Amino acid sequence: MREWQKETVYQIYPRSFQDSNGDGVGDINGIISRLDYLQKLGIGLIWLTPMYRSPGNDNGYDIADYYQIDPVFGTMEDFENLLNEAHKRNIKIIMDMVLNHTSNENHWFQEALKSKDNPYHDFYIWKDPVDGHEPNNWVSKFSGSAWKYVPELDQYYLHLYDVTMPDLNWRNEKLRNKIFKMLKYWAAKGIDGFRLDVINNISKAKEMPNDTFVTPLDDGRNFYTNGPHVHEYIHEMYEKVFGPNNFVTVGELSSTPISEAIKYTNPDRQELSMAFTFHHVKVDYTNGNKWTLGQYKLSDLTRVLSEWQVKMNAHGGWNALFWNNHDQPRAISRFTNDTKYRDQSAKLLAMVEFGLQGTPYIYQGDEIAMKNAYFTDIKQYNDHESINAYNELVKNGVAEETAIKILQQKSRENARLPMQWNSQRNYGFTTGQPWLKPLHHDDYSVEKVLKMKNNIFDFYRALIFLRKHKEILINGQYKLLNSQDNSVYSYERINNKGKILVMANFTDQMQERKIANGFDLLLGNYEGIKLNKDTVTLRPYESVMLEK
């Protein structure tokens, strides 16, 4: 067992966490001011989304300078202070790193634009026009073509994401060495690991043929997801940076099958510590299409979670467990009930996650049951992906009102609302105008929740404690009970010392289920659990963790 496998990670989206200077944007000193709060919660690692110098077209995932802290967040001295203060509290810091692409304002790309002979030109992926148009039909994740024409060079550059974010050419050894040098710079600062953004896209097929569009997934990704050299590139990073520094690393692996995720995370291969995969948060995509008013079946959700639990465990892989992050709408609004049964729903999701095998991640606000933004006007959105999706929907004949409802359900902006600290103006996030304006539709805050009896914050603390002290939650085998149940998710964790049973009622109706004899209550999200000799009666959104 590796030490970090018992820990819990807390993801901070710095822009929305805590503003210390009144400019409306969260910053490093704001994070420092809340470290005692995070220590009280019991987390062992913080994952910080990017704080490098950036024009902000993708909220920091478009890096203009890998070596500089963006002034909107503070200074390098502030960052070093954050490292020191976190480490004093036995909290490790994982930095987000984007190695698939840079900002078009990055020095490398500015040089690449000067001429085809410039040494930096080959740091990016360029293709000549084909019959006067794009080299192929690949689609950007942000909609539209994945290619941008530069008339001065009579070439297209590849951008799998925003047009201002050109993809790097990992086949170029000089580029790789520049990247390794930069990673070592941050290692020398004393950080404890990296979360690697869209890392499974860094190796593109040498030939770049058209894709088929037979399904929404046949949009080009067949030729760059988990590409031909991705594992050797990551192993090279491990040998030069991750291994020597004993780093904790997590790769974002969208559209990745289990067989590949095992390769990325099996320690014998020396690549990554764990994997973020997203199949479970796509179960409400209609025919694979995200931008729809989707519904989900619990049996689909449990099937996906279970498949990853069983197969990753069997082959030495390791999951990063999550419901929420900066790119996902709030799970409490998506999968459960964020009104009448809000507290129970938040605790249910937490229990289901923490009972699984893998490293659990809490996204800021999970611990106080934050919910979706429910913006009512496209003007309230900042996120390029959401705005592009809205425009595309309306262009294709979807009513504006319906398009807004789709964004209310699916937009990642839902997770980017400023953290709700207290009942003051802007929830105590800032004394100025927040970069993303909350609607004050919600009376939940840290201040309020901490005063509640049996609150969600303390429930998370209990789960974090259990993971540190119950070995079965780390190494126990996973077993799904009743795969066809569309109301209650029941699973067991089993080792040679005993068994833990998790049961979660994902409905607003009472549910009764049979259980084997001999189980005792370990934790529940209601008072007065109705546990009989061989049955358990679950109230709306009730969850229990039983042990024998």
The CATH superfamily of 1-97+319-373+415-469 is Glycosidases (3.20.20.80)
pLDDT mean over 153-166: 97
Task: Encode pLDDT of 113-150 as tens digits.
Answer: 999 999 999 999 999 999 999 999 999 998 899 999 99
Q: Domain 107-158 is classified in which CATH homologous superfamily?
A: Oligo-1,6-glucosidase; Domain 2 (3.90.400.10)
355-401, pLDDT tens digit by residue? 999 999 999 999 999 999 999 999 999 998 899 999 999 999 999 99
Average pLDDT (33-61) is 97
**Residue 287: what pLDDT?**
87
Which of 57, 245, 82, 70 minimizes the C-alpha distance to 140?
57
Q: Could you tell me the pLDDT band of residue 438, with boundaries at 50, 70 and 90?
A: confident
**Cα 520 off chain centre by:** 34
Name the residue among 382, 445, 442 with its Cα closest to residue 411: 382
Looking only at the bridges linking them, the beta strands covering 320-321 and 359-363 are parallel
* Count of residues in the chain: 548
| Residue positions annotated with a catalytic role | 197, 252
Q: What are the residue ranges spanned by the domains of the chain? A: 1-97+319-373+415-469, 107-158, 173-295, 379-410, 477-547
pLDDT score of 384: 85
The tens digit of pLDDT for each residue in 488-520 reads 999 999 999 999 999 999 999 999 999 998 899
Q: Is 219 exposed, middle or buried (0-12, 13-18, 19+ CB in 10 A)?
A: middle
Segment 231-268, tens digit of pLDDT: 999 999 999 999 999 999 999 998 899 999 999 999 99
270: left (phi over 0), alpha (psi -120 to 50) or beta: left
Sequence-distant (6+) residues with CB within 8 A of 277 are 253, 254, 256, 261, 308, 319
Rounded Cα distance, 167 and 147, in Å: 10
pTM of the model: 0.96
Mean pLDDT, to the nearest integer, of 268-276?
97
- Classify domain 477-547 by CATH number: 2.60.40.1180
